[in-house]
Amino acid sequence: MWSYAKYMKCKGSCLASIGAEQPAEVAEDAPRNLNPCACLYTRRLSMLSCDGSRQHMRRLCCCA
C-alpha cells in the first residue's frame, strides 16, 4: 500500500476494504457506521475501476 497522506486528508484510520471505488476517503459527514474521515484501500487490484463510485466517498482515482 502506498501513502495516501500526500493526496488525501485521512484524519481517521486507514482501513483495508473491498470496493471498486477505492482508494477513497470517507466523507466527514458520513454516517458513523461508514467510519467518517477514514481512508479505505483494497488489496484486490482486479476490483479497481474508474467507474466505481459510492455515496459518502471521495475517491482517489489512479486512472486519471
pLDDT at 28: 92
Q: Give residue 46's pLDDT.
A: 73
Q: How far apart are the C-alpha atoms of 17 and 58, rounded to whole Å? A: 15
pLDDT digits (tens, 9 = 90+) for 7-42: 777 787 888 888 888 888 999 999 999 999 998 888
Per-residue pLDDT of 44-62, as tens digits, reads 777 677 788 889 988 877 6
Q: Domain spans of the chain?
A: 14-59
> Which strands make up the sheet holding 39-41, listed edge to edge?
14-16, 39-41, 24-26, 57-59
